[in-house]
């Protein structure tokens, strides 16, 4: 995205890791069934997308005939492949993913091989008018198991990556940039850590222009960061931002004095405990200190034991962007962080990253707010994208035409 004026509706996509796919056949079916369903509901003839291509599917696409057929499918489906979600490696929906989502880390050669597969796919599939493709990836690894030796190996693999991307750029004319995505409890979780890493990286890697940052609004809101200030700090430090993932975190504001009501609220929050994903939790105590739990059940147990200590929990659970309250008045979301992000973009026309909605957790929401079926989920995703359009339009960041074809009737 390079236009200083803003974005078109076509350029607003969503991360397709919300849809389960096991292999290339599943990915192709998802494009026809899910992507086209969302695009049609938006009334667009084409739409950018941050596809998630799992490692199995990426390996299948190493063969030239498979790649050519895949690119042809994208064209016929109206899918403009301008970015990829290269964070989840394998299965992202089956069983307990939890901390395994960070595996392989950048310290492992499998992460490099997978990333290079994705880069080659994107270089071939990018639309001719797209000056740069971006791929989001893990923020090195999971902090709880990280060591200096792993950091050294990760940087070695990243240097191999950027050197390969420079060669790909020279050979194909297509520039692909990988974007490290800060996430709670990872090696890079705060803006300060990202700035320190990129200062080191830019001074040591001759191909550093092929590595950037993915700014996930939910993640930084969970860290109690002011997204406007974080983006400004990154800009001042000259940290490139290739992608902003528009996402909304769950917030729980606990009653200060009514113990019985507090337990009722905690019981409802317990409906968000599920076995697939990690839902890291951060809180401020009464003295302003930051506390952390690796997953939601541990946070709820601590809140039950220590009544009145925690006023607000920020939970890494991606709830729909248009959500302001869920189930109870005490359960809200971080829409203010999204507003601060849009405000920053409105005031800084030199920052025009890829914008993508990333609400991958539709299928694990509590029953009371979970879509009843697949069609309802697609309608929810389309509604999120419409909400983003409205936010951009109100800040004069949405370029016409807003609608390109009549919406499909579903």
Per-residue pLDDT of the chain (410 residues; tens, 9 = 90+): 444 589 999 999 999 999 999 999 999 999 999 999 999 999 999 999 989 999 999 999 999 999 999 999 999 999 999 999 999 999 888 778 999 999 999 999 999 999 999 999 999 999 999 999 999 999 999 999 999 999 999 999 999 999 999 999 999 999 999 999 999 999 999 999 999 999 999 999 999 999 999 999 999 999 999 999 999 999 999 999 999 999 999 999 998 888 899 999 999 999 999 999 999 999 987 677 889 999 999 999 999 988 778 889 999 999 999 999 899 999 999 999 999 999 999 999 999 999 999 999 999 999 999 999 999 999 999 999 999 999 999 999 999 864 444 444 32
**Which pLDDT does position 401 carry in this prediction?**
60
**Which pLDDT does position 290 carry in this prediction?**
87
Question: What backbone torsions phi and psi does residue 254 show, to the nearest 5 degrees?
Answer: -90, 135
Can you give the pTM of this predicted structure? 0.95
Q: How far is CA 326 from CA 29, 206, 337, 367, in A?
A: 32, 48, 17, 12
Domains and CATH numbers, the chain: 7-248+333-399 (3.20.20.150), 253-312 (no CATH)
**Which pLDDT does position 4 carry in this prediction?**
59
């Amino acid at each position: 995205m390079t236009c200083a004026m803003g974005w078109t509706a076509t350029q607003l996509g969503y991360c397709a890791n919300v849809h389960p796919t096991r292999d290339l056949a599943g990915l192709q079916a998802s494009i026809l069934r899910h992507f086209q369903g969302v695009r049609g509901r938006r009334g667009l003839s084409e739409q950018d997308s941050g596809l998630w291509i799992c490692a199995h599917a990426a390996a299948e696409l190493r063969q030239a005939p498979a790649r050519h057929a895949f690119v042809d499918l994208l064209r016929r489906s109206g899918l403009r492949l301008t970015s990829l979600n290269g964070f989840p490696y394998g299965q992202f929906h089956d069983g307990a993913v939890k901390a395994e989502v960070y595996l392989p880390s950048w310290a492992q050669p499998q992460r490099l091989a997978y990333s290079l597969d994705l880069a080659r796919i994107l270089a071939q599939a990018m639309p001719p008018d797209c000056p740069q493709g971006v791929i989001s990836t893990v923020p090195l690894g999971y902090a709880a198991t990280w060591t200096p030796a792993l950091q050294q190996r990760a940087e070695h693999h990243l240097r191999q990556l950027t050197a390969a991307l420079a060669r790909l750029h020279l050979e194909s004319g297509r520039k692909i940039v990988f974007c490290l995505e800060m996430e709670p409890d990872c090696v890079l979780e705060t803006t300060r850590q990202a700035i320190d890493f990129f200062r080191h990286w830019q001074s040591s890697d001759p191909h550093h222009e092929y590595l950037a940052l993915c700014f996930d609004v939910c993640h930084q809101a969970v860290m109690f960061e002011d997204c406007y200030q974080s983006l400004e700090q990154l800009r001042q430090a000259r940290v490139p931002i290739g992608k902003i993932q528009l996402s909304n975190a769950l917030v729980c504001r606990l009653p200060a004095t009514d113990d019985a009501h507090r337990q009722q609220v905690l019981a409802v929050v317990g409906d968000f405990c599920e076995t697939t994903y990690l839902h890291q939790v951060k809180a401020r105590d009464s003295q302003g200190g930051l506390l952390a739990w690796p997953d939601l059940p541990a946070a709820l147990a601590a809140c039950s034991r220590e009544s009145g200590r925690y006023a607000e929990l920020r939970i890494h659970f991606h709830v729909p962007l248009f959500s302001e309250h869920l189930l109870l008045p005490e359960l809200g979301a971080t829409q203010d962080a999204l507003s601060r992000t849009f405000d920053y973009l409105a005031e800084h026309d030199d920052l025009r990253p890829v914008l993508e909605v990333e609400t991958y957790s539709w299928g694990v929401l509590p029953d009371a707010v979970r879509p009843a079926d697949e069609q309802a989920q697609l309608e929810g995703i389309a509604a999120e994208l419409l909400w983003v359009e409205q936010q951009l339009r109100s800040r004069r960041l949405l370029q016409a035409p807003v609608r390109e074809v009549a919406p499909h009737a579903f």
